[in-house]
Amino acid sequence: MAVWPRSARRGARGGERNAGEAHGPEPATALTGNVSAQPEIYAKAAQDPVGFWADEARRLTWATPWSSPLDGGFPHPSWFAGGTLNVAVNCVDRHVDAGNGDRVALHWEGGPGDTRTITYRQLQADVCRAANALAELGVEPDAAVAICMPPLPEAVVAMLACARLGARHHFIFPRPHAEVLTRLIRQTGARLVISADGDRSPGTMGPLKPALDEALGACPQVARVLIVRRTGWPIDWVKGRDVWWNDLVDRQPDSVVIRQPGDSARMLLYSSAGFLTHVAATHRLAFDVQPDSDVCWYAAHPATMGSHAYAVYGALAGGATCVLLEGPPVMTAQTSGRINLRPVVADLKYARCWDIIERYGVTILDLPPSLIQAIARSPGHPPAKRRLSSLRLLTSDIEALELAGGRMLDPSACRSWRTAIGQDHIPFVTNWSNSLTGGIMLTPLPGMVGAIEPEEGAPCWSRFEGVFSTGDKARRDCDGDLWMVPRSGDM
């Protein structure tokens, strides 16, 4: 793992650093306080890891305090036994109650340039309406809901509405292939699917309902489909099953707050309390987030684990402001039904990315490794006329290397990216997460290991006694840095 800059950086293969290689100041000069001002956090976490996570959990709002932070041992620990909390209350309500209701929660920009700005107070009202609507459709605590739509504000609202009810949601990429949707929806066991009539994302614009209807023909357990009116395109309508989101949600009261804090409520098969403690802590500490001033942009689709955990739950739990973008952050061309990064017009390829940073004053930027490497190989980007001075921290999730065809995010790309975007003084923080753990597991600011609660008989604990095996591999160089390698596929 690496933080760029670092004064004693070695070569890419762990040898001596290259002659004449430039190095910037230590990260402490660029970060403000949460991490750099607390070097004792390493010793504290190492000496008393349970106490460390108990302190982080106390930053959340609990309906019922826990009796013990950790009961039992691995592989079947019980974190925060007896405690109950509601994820939506922690991500929305408590910020409104604290007087921050007018703070922007989401800046959303649609594919054709549509924009919406949503404050925490507005988000609270939207989530309450949606939760009441889901309850009217029969969603109960621990029920499964499948969400299959583009990155719309309604997607975030649906996630939080499920959390408010204690239901578990499963976010599925809006794939065009019905057989893929059938398999994924069946796996969730969902009786309710939330989707949209179409997608207006650049490069993927088109209807979504036809593939969904075909997929649901083989999913008899699905009783209701809630459709967001995004495009207005004509769609087939299944009477008695399909419901317009706008018709049902908009007529719900926004003052009736439904809260189901039960400790058995689960999201993505992660325990609510452990998951939220983990992502809220790592989001604040690893990215040095200042909620009253930072604007965070995690460019990946919310269905990906990193964006799901940090662009929604980690950021909102900390009261931060996030950017949500419909479609990719670059201009794309669509060839044979597949999306690639070949520009329609070379000079416009990355224009959308720079536009978003300028328009919303993004301070913390997270892009996938594939995009970072593509920009690093493109001379003249960003153009000198672009105003990107709002940026103060760059980051990327190494777990996303799978989306880059298994290619590693190499140091030369990191340096080129940081030079072009960060003017050689903004830290570039790489982190490693894993979909099985729910959040960041390795990061240089600081390195923390979270705890998960595996299912009964999960094989992840069987390979090494008392140790969770992720299936990933890494090597340690002579600096002590860890270099992750592509997924070994041997879980």
Give the range of the structural domain holding residue 203, as residue numbers without chain letter: 120-250
Q: Residues 244, 328: one domain?
A: no
**Single pTM value for the model:** 0.84
Are the beta carbons of 275 and 79 closer than 8 angstroms? Answer: no
Question: In the prediction, which pLDDT does 387 show?
Answer: 85
Say yes or no: 245 and 302 in one domain.
no
Q: Give dist(CA 272, CA 428) in Å, integer.
A: 30
CATH number, domain of 299, equals 3.40.50.12780
Do 71 and 208 sit in the same domain of this protein? no
Question: Which residue among 250, 281, 312 closes a domain?
Answer: 250
pLDDT at 176: 63
Question: Is the bond leading into 75 cis (omega within 30 degrees of zero)?
Answer: yes
Structural contact between residues 220 and 191, judged by C-beta atoms closer than 8 angstroms: no
pLDDT recorded at residue 101: 97
Q: For residue 308, what is the DSSP state?
A: I
Question: What gap in Å lies between CA 159 and CA 131, rounded to an integer?
Answer: 10
Asked if 431 and 318 sit in the same domain, the reply is yes
**Preceding peptide of 5 cis, ω within 30°:** yes
Q: Which residues of the chain have pLDDT under 70?
A: 1-39, 175-176, 202-204, 255-271, 305-306, 331-348, 398-410, 422, 434-436, 445-472, 484-491
217 and 288 fall within a common domain:
no
Residue 387 is given by DSSP the state -
Q: What CATH number has the domain bearing residue 173?
A: 3.40.50.980
**For 147-164, what is each residue's pLDDT tens digit?**
999 899 999 999 999 999
482: left (phi over 0), alpha (psi -120 to 50) or beta: beta
Structure confidence by residue, pLDDT tens digits, 375-421:
777 777 777 778 888 998 888 876 544 444 445 666 777 777 777 77
Nearest in space to 217 (alpha carbons), one of 198, 199, 243, 238: 238
